[in-house]
Structure 1
Amino acid sequence: MERIYQWLKKEDVQLYLTLAFLIFVLFCFRHFLSIILLITIFSFLALKVTTRLRQWLPIGQVLATLIVYVVVIGLVVLAISYAAPSLASQFSGIPHLIMKAINDHPVWDKQLDTWVNKALNSSEIMKHGQTALETGLRGLESVGTAFSHVGVAIFLSLIFTASYGRMKRFGDAFLHSRFKKFFTNVYFLVRKFVTILGTVVDTQLIICSINTILMTIGLFFLKMPSLMVLAVIVFILGLVPVAGVLISMVPLTLIAFASGGIWRVVEVIILVIVIHFFESYFLHPRLMATATDLPIFVTFMTLIVSEEIFGVWGLIVGLPIVAFFLDLFGVHPQPNDGPIMQQLRGDK
């Protein structure tokens, strides 16, 4: 019994038991994980912007928070109101381009007719079609839920950011309570993960924005149609590390073939390869600062497994989770750490 007691008194054991407890709590609240992650990401980004704003202007935290949220929400509303008509018009033109490409290739037109007739006469395909329709309806319901989660997360992150000083004092009180060792471990683990998650999301947004601008310029010179639609697709898929580039190839090549044939497809593929190399060997190493400097194979496996476990959220939180555990277990693939990892290890 004495050995067990001495074993439980070890700092590493207490830290890992605290981690297991936090994982159990998150599992119990798994239905709220989407809102928790959104609040964490929005609050991290908002605190970063408000801190910089207060360095430039002598204003309080509440006023700085209101300015940031009003400006960001206003810009989003203006962008949507301006771009929505153009996006709708360009989206409606994409089916016409695809049908034109099919009509220009009689062999494909004939093959498509064969597939359609086979589908109409196949009860199995019709059954799968009904299943796909039901899945699509559930997907629409999920989209509505996602919008409500985003709205709640924006409101709660606004409250948290505006009252950050008071929330920090409230949290510090736990570090001086009767269970200060437990809450110190909780603070250490939560701060480590939030720092990695926030930094990865922040950096991925910067990388995604730069890639979208370069990609849009390249597609403009290639005279691709529906440019605004393609820019939106590239930006959204660019939020998924590594795999987003491969996924974006599908709509890009389809529209390229429909508008310019096989040679335009080749040009688009070359453009994507060039920008992907620029991201992989210039942007990512410099901006990510080795926070998740994992081998490509490990990155892909992480994305696949985390998507299977956590759903769509796994594509965003998978890499930060792996980076968190690697750093916690003392596994450092690169000898030269960037400022993010140095800051995290300085907390120990």
Structure 2
Amino acid sequence: MERIYQWFKKEDVQLYLTLALLIVVLFFLRHFLSIILLITIFSFLAIKVTTRLRQWLPIGQVLATLIVYVVVIGLIALALSYAAPSLASQFSGIPHLIMRAINDHPVWDKQLDTWVNKALNSSEIMKHGQTAIETGLHGLESVGTAFSHVGVAVFLSLIFTASYGRMKRFGDAFLHSRFKHFFTNVYYLVRKFVLILGTVVDTQLIICTINTILMTIGLFILKMPSLMVLAVIVFILGLVPVAGVLISMIPLTLIAFASGGLWKVVEVIILVIIIHFFESYFLHPRLMASATDLPIFVTFMTLIVSEEIFGVWGLIVGLPIVAFFLDIVGVHPKPNDGPIMQQLRDDN
């Protein structure tokens, strides 16, 4: 019995038991995980920006938070008000481009007519069509839920960031309570994961922005139509590490073929390869080294498995989760880690 008691008193055993307990708690809170993750990401980015702002200006945390949120929300609203009409116009022109490309290729036009006639005469296709409509309606409902989650997360992250000093003192009180060893482990694990998650998201935003600018310039040189729509697609899909570039190939090549035929498709593919090469061998190693530096194969497997387990969120949190567990068990893929991983290493 004494051996069992001494085994449970080991620091690493208590740490892993605390981690297991946190996983169980998160399982019961799984319906709120999207809001929790959004609040964590927004708060991390907001605290980072407000900290830098307060280094430049002698202002308080509340005022700095209000300035950051008002500026960001104002810029988003301004961009949407100016870009929405152009986006709607360019989106409406895409079907016309595709139909014109089909009409310019009689073989494709004939094959498309064959597929349409077969679909209209097939009861199974119609049944699948009904299922697709139901799935689409469910997807619209999910979009509405996602917007509400974003709104709640923005509001709560605003409150958290504005009261960050008081929240920090409140959290420190747990570290001096009767269960200080337990809460010390909780703090260690949560802090480690938040640092990794926040750094990955922050870095991916930087990489995504640079890639979008370069891709937009390249598409402009290639005289691609619907440039603003393509830029939005590239940016949104670019938030998915590595795989986002490959997924963006589908709409890019489709519009390229509709506007300029096979040669335009080849030009776009070459452009994407150049941008992806620049990201993989220049941006990613230099910027993402401070968070995680997993091999490409491990990255793809992580994205596939995490998307199956967590849904769309898995594409964002999958890599931080793997990096977190690798760091917990002492597996370091790269000897020369960046400042974030070195900071976590110093905590051990």
Q: Same fold (TM over 0.5)?
A: yes
In the superposition, the TM-score normalised over structure 2's length comes to: 0.99
Partner Cα separation in structure 2 for residue 286 and residue 148 of structure 1: 36
Post-superposition offset of 1:222: 0.1
Post-superposition offset of 1:290: 4.8
Q: CA RMSD in A?
A: 0.5
CA-to-aligned-CA distance 1:87-115 (integer Å, 9 cap, x gap): 00000000000000000000000000000
Q: Secondary structure at 1:330's aligned position in 2?
A: coil
Partner Cα separation in structure 1 for residue 40 and residue 291 of structure 2: 18
Partner Cα separation in structure 2 for residue 77 and residue 60 of structure 1: 26
CA-to-aligned-CA distance 1:28-62 (integer Å, 9 cap, x gap): 00000000000000000000000000000000000
4+ runs of 1 displaced by more than 6 Å? none
Partner Cα separation in structure 1 for residue 4 and residue 130 of structure 2: 58
Q: Secondary structure at 1:58's aligned position in 2?
A: coil
Q: Note if contact 2:199-2:290 (Cα within 8 Å) is conserved in structure 1.
A: no
Partner Cα separation in structure 2 for residue 44 and residue 92 of structure 1: 38
Structure 1: runs of 5+ lacking an equivalent: none
Q: Partner residue of 1:195? A: 195
Partner Cα separation in structure 1 for residue 125 and residue 290 of structure 2: 48
Instruction: State which drifts further: 22-31 or 287-296.
Output: 287-296
Partner Cα separation in structure 1 for residue 115 and residue 89 of structure 2: 29
Partner Cα separation in structure 1 for residue 283 and residue 33 of structure 2: 30
CA-to-aligned-CA distance 1:255-288 (integer Å, 9 cap, x gap): 0000000000000000000000000000011111
Q: Note if contact 2:200-2:288 (Cα within 8 Å) is conserved in structure 1.
A: yes
Q: Partner residue of 1:178? A: 178
Post-superposition offset of 1:9: 0.3
CA-to-aligned-CA distance 1:42-89 (integer Å, 9 cap, x gap): 000000000000000000000000000000000000000000000000
Partner Cα separation in structure 1 for residue 54 and residue 238 of structure 2: 31
Structure 2: runs of 5+ lacking an equivalent: none
Instruction: State which drifts further: 333-342 or 274-283.
Output: 333-342
Q: Secondary structure at 1:289's aligned position in 2?
A: helix
Q: Note if contact 2:253-2:265 (Cα within 8 Å) is conserved in structure 1.
A: yes
Partner Cα separation in structure 2 for residue 345 and residue 173 of structure 1: 25
Q: Partner residue of 1:260? A: 260
Post-superposition offset of 1:338: 1.4
Q: Note if contact 2:26-2:33 (Cα within 8 Å) is conserved in structure 1.
A: yes
Q: Secondary structure at 2:241's aligned position in 1?
A: coil
The number of residues matched between the two structures is 348
Post-superposition offset of 1:333: 1.4
Q: Secondary structure at 1:96's aligned position in 2?
A: helix
Post-superposition offset of 1:15: 0.1
Partner Cα separation in structure 1 for residue 253 and residue 267 of structure 2: 10
CA-to-aligned-CA distance 1:137-179 (integer Å, 9 cap, x gap): 0000000000000000000000000000000000000000000
Partner Cα separation in structure 1 for residue 31 and residue 338 of structure 2: 35
Q: Partner residue of 1:246? A: 246
CA-to-aligned-CA distance 1:300-324 (integer Å, 9 cap, x gap): 0000000000000000000000000
Per the alignment, do residues 44 and 179 of structure 1 end up closer, same or farther by CA in structure 2, a change over 3 Å counting? same
Partner Cα separation in structure 2 for residue 210 and residue 132 of structure 1: 36
Post-superposition offset of 1:336: 1.4
Q: Note if contact 2:54-2:60 (Cα within 8 Å) is conserved in structure 1.
A: yes
Q: Partner residue of 1:208? A: 208
Post-superposition offset of 1:291: 2.0
CA-to-aligned-CA distance 1:228-275 (integer Å, 9 cap, x gap): 000000000000000000000000000000000000000000000000
Post-superposition offset of 1:3: 1.3
Q: Partner residue of 2:218? A: 218
Q: Secondary structure at 2:347's aligned position in 1?
A: coil
Partner Cα separation in structure 2 for residue 53 and residue 336 of structure 1: 30
Instruction: State which drifts further: 322-331 or 288-297.
Output: 288-297
Q: Partner residue of 1:38? A: 38
